[in-house]
Structure 1
Amino acid sequence: MSAIAPCLWFDSQAEEAAIFYVSLLGNSRITDVSRYSEGGPQPAGTAIMVHFELDGVAFQALNGGPQFPFTEAVSLAISTSSQEETDRLWTALTADGGEESRCGWLKDKYGLSWQIVPTRLGELLSGADADAEGAGRAMQAMLTMRKIDINGLERAYNG
């Protein structure tokens, strides 16, 4: 487990969000939940802090109230190995009020920003076998996409 764990500030959905996030990725789990007692700023039994791991990386989720909403200044990036994995995560994270953005970015229903990035994108843009013209075409194609389409990148790369 990492010595540093990002803390995600939620209004009141920390436990719900953590349960959702761990359901999306293998090697993920909730490791601890601390709860408010009587007299706290949220109802007794509501999670204060949820400690969880996403693919083995430690996170914390805090129910701190509405003062600090998420912004795009911080995002979680997931490197995907296939279009199927990209599609599955994109669909799950944009469901129920999530929002698509550009170039593989989205916001989930809690307002947290994510980047869903196929590893093939990096290979086409800067891999050892990438040619400058093909990489430029792939970059231009990526800039028109919301969810990254690997086949579309490949077509652009190949001219």
Structure 2
Amino acid sequence: MSIPKNTICLWFDKDAEEAANFYADTFPDSSVTGVDRAPSDFPGGKQGDVLVVRFTVCGIPCMGLNAGPNFPQSEAFSFQIATDDQAETDRLWDAIVGNGGRESECGWCKDKWGLNWQITPRTLTEALAAGGDEARRAFEAMMTMGKIDVATIDAARRG
């Protein structure tokens, strides 16, 4: 087993394996790479319970830790996923929201485990990086949206 130098550790109540499988099925370049089970009973769990799930999300190494309800996810951490077009934006957004998640604003949504996602079309990121009036128009358009509408952002970029 190769251990990455840096791994994002995500705290789950008890559903890390379910979440990791969902991420692997939903996002490109994603997979579950290992599941570690408790070698003996422990406070809050039994021998054989899933403790740690190793997985990747869009090539980023992650670890899901089943550690109880003490530390829920918050907006302080999110994955930002760059999408190439409206079809990819819709597919990812709808997968998250349609699997027990919920919509938020400005391209953000939350999955059913409480993890936050920014489903961000590249055109929006490019517009903001361009600065000036193009960035202002794209930003103002984005501020009215939940899921990002690529055509509206592109129109705002053009003025």
Alignment of 1:38-57 (within 5 A): 38-40=40-42, 41-57=44-60
What is the TM-score of this pair, normalised by structure 1? 0.91
What is the TM-score of this pair, normalised by structure 2? 0.91
Q: Which runs of 5+ in 2 are unaligned?
A: none
Deviation of the 1:140 alpha carbon: 0.3
- Could you say what secondary structure the match of 1:22 adopts? helix
- 1:10 is aligned to 12
Give the share of equivalent positions with the same residue, in percent. Answer: 45
List, as ranges, runs of 4+ consecutive aligned residues in structure 1 with deviation greater than 6 Å: none
Partner amino acid for 2:68?
G
**RMSD over equivalenced CA pairs, Å:** 1.6
Q: Is the CA contact (8 Å cut-off) linking 1:2 and 1:57 kept in structure 2?
A: no
User: Which of the residues 98, 101, 121 maps onto 2:101?
Assistant: 98
Report Cα offsets for 1:125-145 as digits up to 9, x if no partner.
223xx6x22321111000111
Greater mean deviation of Cα atoms: 29-38 or 117-126: 29-38
Distance 1:96 1:42 in 2: 27
- 2:37 is aligned to 35
Q: Number of matched residues? A: 156
Q: Which runs of 5+ in 1 are unaligned?
A: none
User: Which of the residues 117, 126, 129 maps onto 1:123?
Assistant: 126
Deviation of the 1:99 alpha carbon: 1.3
Q: Is the CA contact (8 Å cut-off) linking 2:23 and 2:31 kept in structure 1?
A: no
Deviation of the 1:158 alpha carbon: 2.3
User: Which of the residues 82, 87, 112 maps onto 2:85?
Assistant: 82
Q: Is the CA contact (8 Å cut-off) linking 2:51 and 2:65 kept in structure 1?
A: yes
